[in-house]
């Protein structure tokens, strides 16, 4: 078990990629602390992650709530070995000029400023443990995506932050990396695909953009995240790790 004894905090860990990561970390021997604002999803996770794991209701876009969550983690577990900044929003599906100020602010608060909050209030504990930080980014932070300007921009910021933070904290023995999927079959993506005019064509497209020929589930992402948080990745920092089946080699288009 490559994460044996580590205390790992993951934001947005009650559903989707975050849920798969939380379960994988626990399976690898970690004590997992999920921070999520979705109380219904947290309730579901309680049955999947009983003690010694912890589930905290908090909005990572709000600094005071993150500060309190970090205090609770240290009170309950005595240490913190890793922060996985996974919480994120992908909306709106619009070009930049159609994006409202409220939509822009929400994307940046959740996808970018939350990393500021968890780092500000968690860095002292990570310095004590010589721990690590993992950010959930996206391939679109590198290659762009039509009709998702705010989202792509936020993930580009996540990538830049990852590299800058890796340099800032290397002298403390803290590694900082990011994982960058392309498409991933989460409940959110399944729902989105059913709302498209040609559902079958959308599913085929999502398979074909990946050079390996299929759109992955969350387990493929969780496996790589477990590795990056483990000592097996002890000499990796500042890496934006694509877990994309080769999609960065060129998106394919349906004929």
Q: Mind telling me the catalytic residues? A: 151
How far is Cα 177 from Cα 165, in angstroms, rounded to an integer? 9
Rounded to the nearest 5 degrees, what angle is found at the Cα of 238, between the Cα atoms of 237 and 241?
95
Are the C-beta atoms of 180 and 213 separated by less than 8 Å?
no
Phi and psi at residue 145, to the nearest 5°: -160, 135
**Look-up: residue for tokens 């968690």?**
122
Q: Could you count the other beta carbons within 10 Å of the beta carbon of residue 253?
A: 8
Q: What is the DSSP letter of 134?
A: E
Burial grade of 97 (CB within 10 A; 0-12, 13-18, 19 or more): exposed
Q: What is the DSSP string of 115-133?
A: HHHHHHHHHHHHHHHT-EE
């Amino acid at each position: 078990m490559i994460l044996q004894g580590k205390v790992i905090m993951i934001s947005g860990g009650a559903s989707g990629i975050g849920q798969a990561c939380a379960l994988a970390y626990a399976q690898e021997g970690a004590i997992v602390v999920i921070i999520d604002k979705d109380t219904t999803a947290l309730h579901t996770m309680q049955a999947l992650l009983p003690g010694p794991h912890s589930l905290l209701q908090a909005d990572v876009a709000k600094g005071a709530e993150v500060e309190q969550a970090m205090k609770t983690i240290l009170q309950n577990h005595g240490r913190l070995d890793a922060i996985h900044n996974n919480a994120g929003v992908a909306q709106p599906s619009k070009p930049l000029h159609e994006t409202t100020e409220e939509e822009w602010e929400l994307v940046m608060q959740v996808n970018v400023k939350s990393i500021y909050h968890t780092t500000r209030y968690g860095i002292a504990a990570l310095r004590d443990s010589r721990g690590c930080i993992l950010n959930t980014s996206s391939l679109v932070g590198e290659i762009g995506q039509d009709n998702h300007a705010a989202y792509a921009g936020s993930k580009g910021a996540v990538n830049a932050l990852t590299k800058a933070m890796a340099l800032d904290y290397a002298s403390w023995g803290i590694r900082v990396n990011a994982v960058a999927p392309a498409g991933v079959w989460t409940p959110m993506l399944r729902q989105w695909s059913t709302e498209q005019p040609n559902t079958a064509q959308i599913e085929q497209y999502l398979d074909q953009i990946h050079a390996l020929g299929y759109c992955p589930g969350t387990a493929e992402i969780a496996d790589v995240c477990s590795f990056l948080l483990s000592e097996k990745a002890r000499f990796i920092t500042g890496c934006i790790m694509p877990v994309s089946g080769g999609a960065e080699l060129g998106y394919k288009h349906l004929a």
